[in-house]
Amino acid sequence: RPWLVLSYPVHAQLKGHRRLLAPLHHPPLLADTSIETATIMFGGVLILIITGTISSLLLARSPCMMPYTPVTTSKPWADGPMALIITPQFETKKTDLFTTGATHMALLHNSILRGYNSIYHQAPHVQEDDKEDFIGYALTWYKFVKSHHDDEEEVLFTKVEELLGDKTVFDKTHKEHEAFLKGLAEFNAYLSTLQEPSHFSAAELRRIMSTFQAAFEDHFHSEIDTIAALANHPKAPREGTSEAAVASAAFKSWGKNTVTKAGTTDVVPFFLMNLDRGAEGGMWAHWPPIPAPIKWGLVNIAGSWYSGRWRFTSCDANGRPRELYALRFPELTH
């Protein structure tokens, strides 16, 4: 009966150990190669199993798996108490640099406004088991707003002032920012210092929100008018010129980066799931212009990290307005 040798160290022969020799038609190398091949195959199968398991877990937590309930007139939605903004392009049909920029800013602002409104309406209805996720959702809104504000002040406004050679164009906007920052900071301080989710008080949160709501709404609308009006500035680039094209590319780059830099796993899903693709007759159904697979991944893969928060958004993973989740529960006194 032939013997099969898997391996045998050469130094063993020097110590007097007897070596078992395999027949010539079954060289030891064959067994080593078979084991190596089997190991590689097993490793490949293991990677596929692990990848499949992780994918299944992510998919189970992704926003696209959440049930959809359409908006009804019997319950409030995220179009109030802060009014949404009508975009300048929808209103005027103009396509110049600043009308376009103001329109894109309005779309971003509307996502933030829907976020505020969704927090305001749902806060009194949040159940005990949902408080931690709701607090996280509200803090994501704060993070979005604060990052957006800082990025405007530090980057965007400077670019526009340099383009126009005018340091005064945002004087009014700077003052508007100051008017709501104190209340915004109190909003963050209250939520981020809660010792336990159970300590959350909807009444206290809404009290804080009421201290900056008017100034916040005024600014988010006023800034759109300010930007759109820059089309009439004497140094505004004329539509169709190379200067306008360069400025447009710079502003588009800012718009893309201002959201992603705020947080891919929290702010980006928040932003995308508070965009109504049917707004203004579906004019902005494909805004922002992200390839569909990438947008899907940002919502459903990146969004799976804090999946519990996104049941409070005003729209579903496909941008359809939906019933505000917490309104299915009775209002609580807390």
- Does any domain span residue 67? no
Q: What is the mean pLDDT of each run of 10 residues along the chain (334 residues)?
A: 40 45 51 68 62 56 87 96 99 96 98 99 98 99 98 95 96 97 98 98 98 98 98 94 90 89 97 98 97 96 96 98 97 78
- Does any domain span residue 229? yes
Residue 11, pLDDT score: 45
Total domain count for the chain?
A: 2
**Amino acid (one-letter) located at 303:** G
- Does any domain span residue 71? no
- Pair (1, 114) in one structural domain: no
- Does any domain span residue 222? yes
Contact 148, 270 (CB under 8 A): no
Q: Whole-angstrom distance between the N-terminal and C-terminal Cα of the chain?
A: 83
- Pair (144, 200) in one structural domain: yes
CA–CA gap between residue 115 and residue 145 (Å, rounded): 10
Residue 62, pLDDT score: 84
pTM confidence score = 0.83
| Of the candidates 113, 123, 106, the residue with the CA atom closest to the CA atom of residue 82 | 113
The alpha carbon of 121 is separated from its chain's Cα centroid by a whole number of angstroms, namely 21
| Of the candidates 250, 251, 275, 272, the residue with the CA atom closest to the CA atom of residue 260 | 272
- Pair (238, 130) in one structural domain: yes
- Pair (266, 137) in one structural domain: yes
CA–CA gap between residue 157 and residue 153 (Å, rounded): 6
Residue 81, pLDDT score: 98
Domain boundary among the residues 12, 32, 61 is at: 61
Residue 302's contacts (CB-CB under 8 Å, 6 or more residues apart) are 264, 265, 268, 269
- Pair (169, 318) in one structural domain: yes
Residue 67's contacts (CB-CB under 8 Å, 6 or more residues apart) are none
- Pair (217, 311) in one structural domain: yes
> What residues make up the domain containing 14?
1-61
Domain boundary among the residues 61, 89, 111 is at: 61
Residue 146, pLDDT score: 98
- Pair (116, 21) in one structural domain: no
- Pair (195, 314) in one structural domain: yes
- Pair (211, 286) in one structural domain: yes
- Pair (13, 125) in one structural domain: no
| Of the candidates 34, 42, 113, the residue with the CA atom closest to the CA atom of residue 78 | 113
- Does any domain span residue 219? yes
Domain boundary among the residues 61, 91, 113 is at: 61
Residue 12, pLDDT score: 44
Residue 87, pLDDT score: 99
Question: Could you tell me the maximum CA-CA distance found in the chain, to the nearest angstrom?
Answer: 99
- Does any domain span residue 68? no
CA–CA gap between residue 310 and residue 325 (Å, rounded): 10
- Does any domain span residue 72? no
Residue 159, pLDDT score: 94
- Pair (274, 309) in one structural domain: yes
- Pair (191, 294) in one structural domain: yes
Residue 246, pLDDT score: 87
- Does any domain span residue 177? yes
Q: Classify the C-alpha dihedral 95-101-106-107 as positive or negative.
A: positive
